[in-house]
Amino acid sequence: MTNSGGPIRQDASADARLAAIVDSSYDAIVGKDLNSVITSWNRAAERMFGYSAEEAIGQSILMLIPEHLQSEETEIIGRIRRGEGIAGHETTRRRKDGSLIAVSLTVSPIRNSEGEIVGASKIARDITAAKESERRIRLLMREVNHRVKNQFAVILSMVRETSKRSTGPGEFEEMIRARIMALSRSHDLLVTSEWAGASLFDLIQEHLKPFAHEERISLSGPLLTLQSNAVQNLGMAFHELGTNSSKYGALASEGGRVEITWKVESGLQAQRLFQLMWHETSPARADAPPPETARKGFGTVVLQRVAPQSLGGTSSLERSPGEVRWALTAPLEAIIVPQLGAENDGDFSV
C-alpha cells in the first residue's frame, strides 16, 4: 500500500525543522530578494537589530546599513547575482535605536526549484565583544612595549652606574645581579595583580625579605595601593636601603632597628602629599664606610635623584654613625592607583 502524499508531508516536515533551526539560531538570519528587500527575519535578528519581523519584512536591507557603507550592498548583490558567496565579512550595521554594532556577515545565494538565483540568505554574527577584546589587547601590547622599554632603560642605567662604582668584575656581577632581581620582585607583584598596582606594605616586605631579620623592622602607615611607576622606583629604593643596612647598618648589627613610616597630608592648594621615612639605628661599626664615601654609591643616586624625580617629588638622605634617614615627599597622585584613593583612611602597624 503506497502513500501518494508521503513526499509532500516529508517536505513539509523538513521545511518545518529548517524553520525551527533558523528561528532558534543565536545568529541573525535574514532573507532578502535581489532588490535588497527583506523577506525573512528570525528572532535573533530581532534581538540584534531591534526591529520585529513585522517591522523588517518588506523593508529595504539598507535600513540596517550606515550611509557611508551602503555601497557594500551593491557589491554584495552583484556577487550574489553571479552565484558567489561571501564569508566572514566584518563590517558595521545600525540598530533601530541608531546605535552601531560590529558584525561578521556570511551571505549565500538562494535558488528556486529551477536553480535560478532569487535572493540571498545573510547570517550576521555580533562581534562587538571580540572587537573590544582586540582593542584591549592592542592597548595592552602597547602598554607592555612601553613598560619593557622603561625596564631596558632602567637596566642600562644600572649597568652603567654599577660599572662605574665596582672595584672589579666579581663585585660588578654580584651587584648587578641583585639589582635586576630586585626589579624582578617588583615586576612579579605587578604581574600578580594584572598590573592593577601593589600594596606598599607588600612591596616593602618583598624587597626586605632577602635580608632577613624581620623582627628588627617595623612598618606603620595607611593602606595604599601603588601604581606601577611607584612600585618600580620605590622598590629600587627599598632594595638599596636594605642592601646598605644588611652590610653596615641595622640589619647587620645586634640591636639594630629599621622603622619605615608613611602618611598622607595636605599640602599647598589642598594638594595631597605622600610622605615616607626610612629611619634605621644601630651600634656604630668601625667597618662602615664614612658618609663622604657612601654618597658616591649607586644606591645614593637612586635615593637622591632617580626615585624622587620619577615620582615628581623630593627626598633627603642623612647618614651619621649608627643612623640613616631617608625621607621622600611626592604628590599622592603620583604614588597611588587613582580609583583606590578613597581607601587611604585605614592605618596599620607591624
Do residue 201 and residue 343 come from a single domain?
yes
Residue 171 banded pLDDT, cuts 50, 70, 90:
confident
Question: For residue 226, is it within any domain?
Answer: yes
Q: Which range, of 38-52, 249-263, 326-340, averages the lowest pLDDT?
A: 326-340
Evaluate if residue 343 carries a pLDDT over 50: no
Residue 227 and residue 115 share a domain = no
The verdict on residue 145 lying in a domain is no
Q: Could you report the per-residue pLDDT of 180-189, keeping only the tens digit for each?
A: 999 899 989 9
Any idea which of 1-5, 84-88, 256-260 has the lowest mean pLDDT? 1-5
Residues 6+ apart with CB under 8 A from 330: 273, 274, 308, 311, 312, 313, 314
Q: How many domains does the chain have?
A: 2
Rounded to 5 degrees, what angle do the CA atoms 220, 221, 223 make? 125
CA 296, CA 291: separation in Å to the nearest integer?
9
Average pLDDT over residues 14-42: 80
Q: Which of 107, 126, 145 is the last residue of a domain?
A: 126
Give pLDDT, residue 345.
Answer: 45
pLDDT band (50, 70, 90) for residue 26: confident
Both 343 and 203 in one domain: the answer is yes
> 195 with 114, same domain?
no
219 in the same domain as 300: yes
Q: Which one has a higher pLDDT value, 90 or 149?
A: 90
Is residue 99 located within the same domain as residue 206? no
**Claim to verify: residue 340 and residue 243 sit in the same structural domain:** yes
- Assess whether 113 and 252 both reside in one domain: no
Confirm whether 270 is domain-assigned: yes
pLDDT one-digit tens code per residue, 71-115: 999 999 999 999 999 999 999 999 999 999 999 999 999 999 899
For the four alpha carbons of 263, 267, 272 and 278, in that order, the dihedral sign comes to: negative
**Containing structural domain, residue 63:** 6-126
Residues 202 and 291 placed together within one structural domain of the fold:
yes
Residue 211 sits in the same domain as residue 302: yes
Three-state DSSP class for residue 199 = strand
**Domain CATH number, residue 88:** 3.30.450.20
Residue where one domain finishes, among candidates 91, 111, 126: 126
Q: Is residue 161 part of a domain?
A: no
Residue 159, domain member (yes or no): no
- pTM (two decimals): 0.63
Looking at the predicted structure, is the pLDDT value of residue 8 above 70?
no
> Do 109 and 204 share a structural domain?
no
Helices 200-208 and 228-248 meet at what angle, rounded to 10? 40
With respect to residue 174, please indicate whether it lies within any of the assigned structural domains.
Answer: no
Task: Say if 167 falls within a structural domain.
Answer: no
334 and 195 both lie in a single domain = yes
Q: Output the domain CATH number for residue 209.
A: 3.30.565.10
More confident residue, 148 or 130: 130
Burial class (CB in 10 A: 0-12, 13-18, 19+), 86: middle
Inside any domain, residue 168: no
Which residues face 164 on adjacent strands?
none
Among the candidates 126, 150, 175, a domain finishes at 126
Give residues with Cβ within 8 angstroms of 313, minimum separation 6: 274, 328, 329, 330, 331, 334
Per-residue model confidence (pLDDT) at position 342: 42
Q: Which residue has the higher pLDDT, 260 or 247?
A: 260
